[in-house]
Amino acid sequence: MPITSESVMLANQSAYRPLALPGVFSQTAGSAGTLRGAGALPEPAFQAENRPAALETRIPPPADPGPYKIGVGDVVLLATPQAGTTIEELSGLLAAQNRRQGYTVQDDGAIAIPDVGRIHIADMTLEEAEAELFQRLVENQIDPSFSLEIAEFNSKKVSIGGAVASPTVAPIALTPLYLDAALAAAGGVTVTDQDYASVRLYRQGTLYQIPLSELYARSGLQRIQLVDGDSIFVDTEYRLEQAQAYFEEQIRIAEFRQKARTDALTELSAEVTLRRAALEEARSNYQTQLDLDAVARDYVYLTGEVGNQSRFPLPFDRQATLADALYNEGGGIPTQTGNVREIYVLRGSADPREFASVTAWQLDGRNAANFLLATRFELRPNDVVFVAEQPITRWNRVIQQLTPSLLSTSVAATR
């Protein structure tokens, strides 16, 4: 079938999808890299110190801690009846006496009582602890006559500092601890100028503030109930050293962010380098497999009067044409021996049972314009490109093969 514009369109209609290169050849080293941030910064330890025209009042919400619960470090006092002799008990000579023993709540929340063992009473009210102790005494067949009280309150505390006579830590007992009582426990407030003084209460990450003048003017503010972990600080005036500490903190935060960004860029650069090395290694391994012919490829075979009889691998990810095969691997057509009139593309049937069914597409290169068709004729796997020899070339080769035989025959005859 001659190769014409119409036959090229017909030949190109056969379905074929070129093999694709592995994904490593389309990936880039920075495609998955992300810049790591500095993370969440801690809350500032210092607030900006500006002398205010009027101090802001921030009152904490009402607190209701509920009944006192025994905690680690508290000392409980266990009182049990002291046994006497039978004669003393009958005669009434022995007055009612109790044996009193103190027990400290250990770090595991338990107290150790002889003949009973460890009893966990932490986070219990006094009534709940009595019920637990009663149950354990009954289980151990011990007279459950006893009384329980808290002798020392050490688990729940409030710290008071700043402009007070004696900074201290005040314990919270069975009765509520209020703000005025806590300030009194620290010896009272030692402030001469109340205009810029305030009582600051730090509770569970929130800072509350009550101007000192307003605290004395409103009695209800003095009855703010305190809870475990509260910190009270009495500020007396604008302090230059605290303002300096605030700005130093801001400078350190800025330096930290800059260092975090530098570290993140360094980390990202190292990650990109590693990824690039991995991609280059994968590509190099694949190229080595290609060089060793260990990768399945689609080939077109060049034979006849071509510059280099060989097999032409169809490229990845694109179609190859007859011109690509002839002038790439084939080395072109020798003008002295090749017959440009008879350039063939032999294509067999896709069905192996139709082995004898072959289509021969012929390109007549005597008209140079027909070579444009070679740039549009798409090749398929296992196509055979054949270029016939010129008639004179065929005769020259016959003569070249006969001449040595004739010479040998004549030499033999003369001998």
Sheet holding 310-313, edge to edge: 310-313, 299-304, 384-389, 338-348, 358-363
**What are the extents of the domains in the chain?**
5-19+296-395, 23-41+242-291, 75-152, 157-238
pTM for the full predicted model: 0.44
- Whether residue 44 is predicted with pLDDT greater than 70 in this model: the reply is no
Report the candidate in 264, 257, 345, 350 with the shortest Cα–Cα distance to residue 303: 345
Rounded CA gap, 190 and 197, in Å? 10
CATH 3.10.560.10 for domain 157-238, yes or no, is: yes
Q: What's the pLDDT tens digit per position in 52-98?
A: 556 778 889 988 888 999 999 999 998 887 655 555 555 554 444 56
Report the candidate in 326, 324, 321, 294 with the shortest Cα–Cα distance to residue 308: 326
DSSP string covering 102-153: EEE--TTSEEEETTTEEEE-TT--HHHHHHHHHHHHHHTT-----EEEEEE-
Are domains 5-19+296-395 and 75-152 of this chain identical in fold? no
Rounded CA gap, 224 and 182, in Å? 10
**Strands 299-304, 384-389: parallel, antiparallel or unpaired by DSSP?**
parallel
How many CA atoms does the CB half-sphere of 200 hold within 13 Å? 17
Q: Could you tell me which residue, 169 or 98, shows the higher pLDDT?
A: 169
Q: Answer whether 290's CB lies under 8 Å from 40's CB.
A: no
Q: Answer whether 1's CB lies under 8 Å from 7's CB.
A: yes
pLDDT classification of 215: cutoffs 50, 70, 90: confident
Handedness of CA 370, 373, 375, 380 (dihedral sign): negative
Rounded CA gap, 127 and 130, in Å? 5
Q: What percent of the chain has pLDDT over 90?
A: 27
pLDDT at residue 96, as a whole number: 46
Q: Tell me which CATH homologous superfamily contains domain 75-152.
A: wza like domain (3.30.1950.10)
Rounded CA gap, 357 and 301, in Å? 18
CATH 3.10.560.10 for domain 5-19+296-395, yes or no, is: yes
